[in-house]
Homo-oligomer: A and B are copies of this chain.
Amino acid sequence: MCIVGLGLIGGSLMRDLHARGERVYGCTLHGARAARRDGFDVCDSVEEVLRRAEADRALVVVAVPMRAAASVLDQVAELAPSCWVTDVVSVKQPVYDLVVERGLAARYVGGHPMAGTEFSGWTASQEGLFAGAAWAVTFDYAREAPTDRDWAALFTTVCTLARVVGAEAVPVSVARHDEAVARVSHLPHVIAEALALVGDRGGTLAQSLSAGSFRGATRVASTEPELVRNMCETNAASLVPVLDEFIALLTDARASLDSTPPSMQALAESGHRAHLRMAARHGARRESVSPVKISSRPVMRVHPGAPGWVHQLEQIESLGGRVEVF
């Protein structure tokens, strides 16, 4: 396995794979020395690591920020033409467009582990980061070529990679992925930044009085602004309509709070019900006291490449379920 880019996600993936006895190496522009000191097989040259991957027929995991994805995929196309490719970038349509442009679609399966912290870089990487997390695995190419055995085998490999690090493979098309993460990941980042500003304008008094609700909603504002920009800007097409929905809800609540008497009934009650629905779906996983973690995601066993398998994936996608490949 060859990981290009060893920040929080790529680095944590390397740690997990290494801890499970997998052969894994990688490269990173920042933190290569620290990674080597920690005992990992890491260099600082994309070219060198991709030549090595080509010789090994390694699976190449692109784990760089979106802005670097085009140049890394150029190098993959040139230097590792025999390798299978996956990635962990937080938006999928823009990466898929780059993949298609470079003629790599038949040997690419997109991935996105839904895990992270507000910290970044190799020093922030940690073992166990992906335990229980969803790992989105894209399957758009299978719609065009459902009987491509090689691609089906790569799909199996990426699902297995997710399982090995304790995550759950959730099959999803790139468009639906980007729309969903705009709602549950990118919008919370935009909110965190704006709320931090509103809180800070209240000065030291507001800061002194802030407690859990404020900290919970602003925690991710400590993420490097560059990473937040990368996520949100590359997913602007999905994020803008979601922001419109959110702003419309707030604008309605504002009007209703500005009436006589002030009311927040509609938002408080519908928001609470929405939260209960989402929490109920999460239920089993979070409250289990058993040492064996039980996932709340519905599961479907799929044999990649078998007749009807793409239709199965579409069914799982609509449920947000996980796939077990066999």
Contact = CB atoms under 8 A, between A and B. Distances in A.
B214 A216 contact: no
Copies of the polypeptide in the assembly? 2
B229 A268 contact: yes
Given A183-B201, A222-B276, A320-B208, A254 B240 contact: yes
Interface stretch (A21-29, A70-78, A100-108, A245-253): A245-253
Contacts of A291: none
A195 B246 contact: yes
Contacts of A140: none
Contacts of A229: 263-265, 268
A257 interface: yes
Contacts of A233: 257, 261-264
A213 interface: yes
A188 interface: yes
A185 B209 contact: yes
B281 A198 contact: no
A221 B268 CA distance: 8
B249 A204 contact: no
A213 B189 contact: yes
Contact of A246 (B198, B222, B239): B198
B211 A198 contact: no
Interface in A162-205: 170, 172, 176-177, 179-181, 183-185, 187-205
Contacts of A193: 253, 267-268, 270-272, 274-275
Contacts of A318: 203-205
B221 A274 contact: yes
A192 B191 CA distance: 10
A317 B236 CA distance: 42
A320 B247 contact: no
A160 B203 CA distance: 26
Contacts of A189: 213
A214 B246 contact: no
Given A222-B275, A271-B192, A247 B254 contact: yes
B213 A220 contact: yes
B190 A217 contact: no
A225 interface: yes
A188 B214 contact: yes
Interface stretch (A39-47, A80-88, A114-122): A114-122
Contacts of A258: 236, 240
A134 to B, nearest CB: 5
A190 to B, nearest CB: 6
Contacts of A250: 190-191, 194, 243, 246-247, 250
Contact of A198 (B136, B187, B208, B209): B187
Given A207-B282, A223-B272, 16 more contacts: A117-B212, A133-B211, A170-B208, A183-B201, A183-B206, A184-B202, A192-B275, A193-B268, A198-B245, A204-B318, A204-B320, A205-B320, A213-B220, A216-B220, A233-B262, A243-B250
